[in-house]
């Protein structure tokens, strides 16, 4: 019997898609504007722009994986995406916390941290409940 994913996990994928596509497009297309309005320190235009664009492209890729996962119904088809999200979110959260407490950047970093925490908890919870059904 194929294990169905929960409607709440599908909703999480959809919300994750929208949040991630917004930040992806911001970093890909409007990184200078975002840095200015948030008060983030200026970055080297030669190194900073390609890095921001690459981050934006990566976020758009994560968003598209969530959109594709949202369309699925079976756990086995989305398990790898959930595992990847957990890894990405755990690493990203730790990096943002390190930056927040080491460099004391603008307050906007706490929005990033909250988003990482919420999605990390959600994807970890869904992974736990779907994998615990097997035992």
Q: Are 96 and 60 in contact (CB under 8 A)?
A: no
Angle at 32 between CA 29 and CA 36, to 5 degrees: 135
Measured CA distances, 118 to 29, 60, 90, 102 (Å): 25, 19, 11, 22
Report CA-CA distances (Å) from 19 to 3, 62, 68, 105: 27, 10, 15, 22
The pLDDT-based confidence of 48 (bands split at 50, 70, 90) is low
Domain ranges of the chain: 7-132
Query: What percent of the chain is predicted at pLDDT more than 70?
Result: 93
Q: Give residue-wise pLDDT tens across range 110-127.
A: 999 999 999 999 999 999
DSSP type of residue 135: -
């Amino acid at each position: 019997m194929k294990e169905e994913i929960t409607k709440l996990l599908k909703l999480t994928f959809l919300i994750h898609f929208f949040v991630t596509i917004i930040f992806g497009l911001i970093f890909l297309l409007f990184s200078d504007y975002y840095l200015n309005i948030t008060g983030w320190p200026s970055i080297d235009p030669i190194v900073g722009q390609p890095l921001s664009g690459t981050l934006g492209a990566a976020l758009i890729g994560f968003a598209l994986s969530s959109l594709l996962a949202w369309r699925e119904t079976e756990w086995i088809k989305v398990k790898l995406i959930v595992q990847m999200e957990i890894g990405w979110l755990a690493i990203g959260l730790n990096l943002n916390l390190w930056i927040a407490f080491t460099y004391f950047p603008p307050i906007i970093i706490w929005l990033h941290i909250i988003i990482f925490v919420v999605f990390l908890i959600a994807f970890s919870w869904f992974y736990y409940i779907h994998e615990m059904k097997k035992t």
